[in-house]
Amino acid sequence: MDSLSPTAGQPLLTYTWATVPDPVYASPPDGEPFLCDLRIAVTNHHTEPLYCTRLTVRLRVGAGAAQLVRSASGITALATPATWSVVTLQEDVLIAVPQDGTARFTASEHAPQQTVTPSLAIELKGLRISREPGTTVVEVIESAATTPDGPPSERIHSFEIVKRGLGPASTGPAQEV
């Protein structure tokens, strides 16, 4: 039987993500870059409440295949609920913080494999996708604790986004066959 209590070293919170559009295509070699939105949902699948003081999102920025965006300029960051703010710390780092200093993620009434309403949604709109196809990694670093008095520990959750290449005779994203 799987335990629903947090495991040391593993993130306390649960993260799911989606891109719009899906799949993501590398931008064409010439012209305007393709745009993409990244949505990250954060939930608590444990049986006890969790307390979070900060979430840091790291994007890989640059021109290569391992980078998601050529530049982080023009990204609009939103958080729901509005009791959270997302600010750009540096070009490749965005920080989400709760207005009260610590957010309480309530315990889930659902089993870990069931869908629950996210306690926090972070949306990064207007990502200008880099031109080289390849796989990139996005990291979410949580500062969270199992008690309201902490101290919070930092744990990393990372996920891969594949940037597909263009079809050889295509002027837009390659079509699946």
Q: Provide the whole-model pTM.
A: 0.83
Domains, the chain, ranges and CATH? 14-161 (2.60.40)
pLDDT 10s digit of each residue in the chain, 177 long? 333 444 457 899 999 999 999 999 999 999 899 999 999 999 998 888 899 999 999 999 998 999 999 988 889 999 999 899 999 888 889 999 999 889 999 876 654 545 445 689 999 999 999 999 999 999 999 999 999 887 999 999 999 999 999 743 344 444 343
Q: Provide CB contacts within 8 A for 79, sequence distance 6+.
A: 85, 86, 96, 120, 121, 122, 123
SS3 148: coil
